[in-house]
Amino acid sequence: MSSRTRSSILVAGSANLDFVVRAPHVPAPGETVLGGEFRTFPGGKGANQAAACARAGGAATRMLLALGEDAFAEPIEDSLRSAGVELDIRRQREQPTGTAFICVSDRGENAITVAPGANSALRPQDLPSLDGVGHLLLQLETPLASVAAYARAARAAGVRVVLNAAPAQALPAELLADVDVLIVNEGELAALAGAEAAIEANLARIGVPWVIVTLGERGCLARIGTEMLEQPAFPVEVVDTTGAGDTFCGALVAALARGAEVPCALREACAASALACTRLGAQASIPRREEVEAFLGQAGIDEDR
């Protein structure tokens, strides 16, 4: 075994530079809206989740990512290293760093268009050693063949595989068979279940040991084996929901990696996600563990219960 403990986390996924503009509302098709403040932020589902894992603490976090040889890569690298993420970069000469164009409304809603760039060049053979890794966290912003290959390798190595099945798309049964924990939102759950049924019924249709569905301002619902667990959301004043789901995923995996019981992990993830909604940006909004602990303390919740 390497110097990394078996509790370490490997995140394999996307990294983008987000171009964010505030506007009164998200434009409808064909509509032009005069926006307000414009800023750039490091983002991408994989990078956001890696930053959330690292900031949640308790487990060393490493990320496999692909970046271009351009100026957009630098702020992404700086942000991840600042969060405490060890980087395993596959540099792409022929592809630019991934970008995302995000409009955030005054109500905190968003509309996102992603140009994958270098993310689309992440290959099955790029997976680094899994020595010491306890959890592999994946998403669907990189090629599906690579995601499936990473899950298969992790399953063979005895690593717990966590898949955030976003953005929504059809998934092969072979991939789902290698997943231990599936995290989805309501739309993604319905797409995978193939039915517009009640959430509990759709959770039961998915052949993955643990399935967790995030419900926005209603919190989350988890099927752990045959047991259903519900965690209400924490009310906050929403500024920007970008990255809130990624924060949930990263905080959840970090809690599980350090041995937290499932109810505690769900509670921490919902609290971290709520805090992320009170700030602008994706990685910039992700709270550290001490902030989550303080937030739970203010809510009168003992984190260890």
Tell me the catalytic residues: 246
- Contact between 76 and 50 (Cβ < 8 Å): no
Which residue blocks in the chain are alpha helix, DSSP H?
45-56, 73-83, 144-156, 173-177, 186-193, 199-205, 244-257, 262-276, 289-298
Q: What's the CA angle centered on 65, arms 63 and 69, to 5 degrees?
A: 135
Which residues does 209 contact at the CB level (< 8 Å), separation at least 6?
180, 181, 224, 225
What is the spatial distance between Cα 98 and Cα 125, in angstroms, rounded to a whole number?
A: 20
Largest Cα–Cα distance in the chain? 57
- From residue 305, alpha-carbon distances to 9, 253, 289, 295, 296 in Å are 24, 18, 16, 15, 11
DSSP 3-state of 134: strand
Burial (CB count within 10 angstroms: exposed 0-12, middle 13-18, buried 19+), residue 8: buried
CA distance 272 to 121: 31
**Cα–Cα distance, 217 to 182 (Å, whole number):** 20
Cis peptide before 167 (omega within 30 of 0): yes
CA–CA separation, 82 vs 247, rounded Å? 16
Helices 262-276 and 244-257 cross at an angle (nearest 10°) of: 150
* Pairing mode of beta strands 210-214, 61-68: unpaired
